[in-house]
Amino acid sequence: MATRTHDKPYDVYRALQDAILVRCPKCGGEARLTLQKKEGQSEYFMRYDCMECFAREEKSRHYKNYHAANTCDGCGRYYRVDLPVARVRRKIISRAVFHRGKLELMTEKAHYKTLRVACPHCGKKMNGEVRWTETAIIAGEEIQDGHDTVFGLPLYFLSHFDSHPVWALNREHLTFLIGYISADLREGCGAGAFLPKFMKMAKNRNGILKVLQKMQKG
């Protein structure tokens, strides 16, 4: 009797609502990668938590795009020049403290309020006010060659078939892939429709299933 499966919507953003499983960079164990929002704030961040050594790290998903703007003294036109972060940021001395009998200067990062740039219209150089816009990236994350694109960590369920990476985002996704690949009849249009061609070829079915089932058994 033919086996039947129904395709489901799976993507990185949906998986992050629960957790994507990755390899801890400290011990190589299982770690949970999640998208979270700071309590009482609008800032989103990605965080991994190792279930074995309890290592943890987080990265903001908000980015500042800097530019210098002013009205040119030479041509009278308004200009806006994009600036690399490295040029905008600077270290300033915030306070001096004694540590182990020595005076140490504590620094913190800030950004310049003005920077000298060339007018893109006439080329005259003058000071422009440094401004920024903030962008939040909370969706559309991708997996590249079995690694997340925020921390660069390999997925916990990652193997290879004929040099092609074969991976699953978490246990639920892995179970879905095994059911989808092994089914004779596939209904609907979800994540399965976007699988790489080599994973859906009939001649590769048994080999792909062995790889997935081996990952499932650990």
Per-residue pLDDT of the chain (218 residues; tens, 9 = 90+): 556 666 666 667 778 778 999 999 999 999 999 988 877 766 788 899 999 999 999 988 877 889 999 999 999 999 999 998 888 877 555 566 666 667 665 555 677 889 999 999 999 999 999 998 877 665 555 788 999 988 999 999 999 999 999 999 999 999 989 988 988 776 666 677 778 899 988 899 999 999 999 999 97
Residue 144 is part of which domain span? 4-61+138-217
* Nearest in space to 50 (alpha carbons), one of 28, 65, 80, 74: 28
Total domain count, the chain: 2
Tell me: do 30 and 99 sit in the same domain.
no
State how far the Cα of 108 lies from the Cα of 102, in Å rounded to an integer: 19
Residue 113: DSSP 8-state: S
Choose the final residue of a domain: 136, 155, 172: 136
At residue 68, the pLDDT reads 94
Q: How far is CA 46 from CA 49, 133, 139, 141, 150, in A?
A: 10, 21, 11, 11, 8
Choose the final residue of a domain: 103, 121, 136: 136
Tokens of 210: 């062995």
